[in-house]
Amino acid sequence: MCTQINNLFTCGHRGFRKFDNCPQFGKTCFGAGGKHRDDVIQDLCRDCKLRAHDARSSPARKDPWWEDDPWKHKRKG
């Protein structure tokens, strides 16, 4: 039977890695059929790494429409 191999990261996310075909693929076997294997990866997934990097690198922004709001002050003239 064919086996689908997934990466299981420490953050809990799971991602597709590869699909191992068995000799009967296309004859009597037509896919993984629920047979999955998880390879444990001792690292965060790419998405979690990017989120952590974005949270550290971009400071919290002030509301751009508060202090410099063009409609906040009365018009002159």
> Is 0.85 topped by the overall pTM?
no
Tell me the three state secondary structure of residue 71: coil
Q: Give the pLDDT confidence of 5-62 residue by residue, as tens digits.
A: 999 999 999 999 999 898 998 898 888 787 889 999 999 999 999 888 877 766 666 6
pLDDT of residue 76: 57
